[in-house]
Amino acid sequence: AHSRRASYPVPALPAEESYLYFAFGANTLPSTMTRVRSVTPLAQPFVAKAYQWELRFEVPGAPFVEPGFATIVERRDDDDDDDDDDVPNYVSGVVWTLSKDDWERVQATETGYVVTPIDVVTDLGREKKQVLTLVWPRQRCRARLQPSKRYLSIIREGAQQFNMDLEWRTYLAEKVRAYDPSANEARSLGAALYAVTAATLAPLTIPLVVMSGGRNGDVGDAVTNITWDIWHDNVAQPLLKTSGGMDDDG
């Protein structure tokens, strides 16, 4: 049912300055790029693999609601992970050809991520290309978070629309576990408490931006410290006896 790859109208001639952007999360879904990000690709997007990289959901989001967002982590020889046998030795994604303005627009919507050049291999033709991607700084990752059902469904749909390899689609469908805030009453209560807490703390982000001079990393670290290290780890999780970021058996 998903044998046809997505196809889009593109300009007749590419812009003089263009950027190859490797997307691996929600930006693999065409509607996210064209409707949400409001970008117009300069060429047909194509599927590629980044070997020796791993997809992880370690970008801290909202406890009990949207716990983890996607990043990729370079595999190292000293990585000790019991689940490596279940994880492909690559990340499959979509390469978008973007104008300078559209590339800057994408970066602006992905606050806190760092532009990182990596090598990928195209699925069609097995051609090696150097591209740009957006990676969350390792020191700011929070390990073992899970994506929400909503977020994971977007990534799965992107993989389906581009007819990525069966191995990758199976991995996303069967091995990546989504966090379900409605799984039990404690989680539902945690989501409600977070909504109240977030609304209360929202005004604090303005002085944080001012004090940081607008540096996204500083603001993000401060918000993460408040929402996860303080509120989740020391208040919500002990009170509710359940995690707001991963399955309790995880």
Query: Do 138 and 13 touch, CB atoms closer than 8 A?
Result: no
Q: What is the model's pLDDT at position 201?
A: 75
Phi, psi of 87 (to 5 degrees): -110, 125
How confident is residue 231, by pLDDT bands cut at 50, 70 and 90?
very high
pTM (two decimals): 0.87
Residue 81 has pLDDT above 70, yes or no: no
Q: Give yes or no for residue 212 having a pLDDT over 90.
A: no
Q: What is the pLDDT of residues 36-51, one digit of tens each?
A: 999 999 999 999 999 9
Answer for the pair 175, 92: CB distance below 8 angstroms, yes or no: no
The predicted pLDDT at position 76 comes to 80
* pLDDT, average across residues 240-245: 95
Residue 6 has a pLDDT of: 60
Task: Please give the share of the chain, as a percent, with pLDDT higher than 70.
Answer: 82
Mean pLDDT for the stretch of residues 180-204 = 89
Instruction: Look up tokens 């969350």; give the residue.
Output: 136
pLDDT-derived band of residue 205, with 50, 70 and 90 as boundaries?
low
Mean pLDDT of 145-154: 96
Which of residues 218 and 35 earns the better pLDDT score? 35
Q: How far apart are the first and last CA of the chain?
A: 33
Does pLDDT of 248 surpass 90?
no
Strand-strand pairing, 53-62 and 128-135: unpaired
* Residue 247: closest CA among 144, 100, 116, 119: 144
**Could you give phi then psi for residue 125, rounded to 5 degrees?**
95, -10
Q: Which two tokens stand for residue 82?
A: 């019991």
Chain center to CA of 64? 17
Question: Does the structure show a pLDDT above 80 at 206?
Answer: no
Consecutive H or E run containing 219: helix 216-224
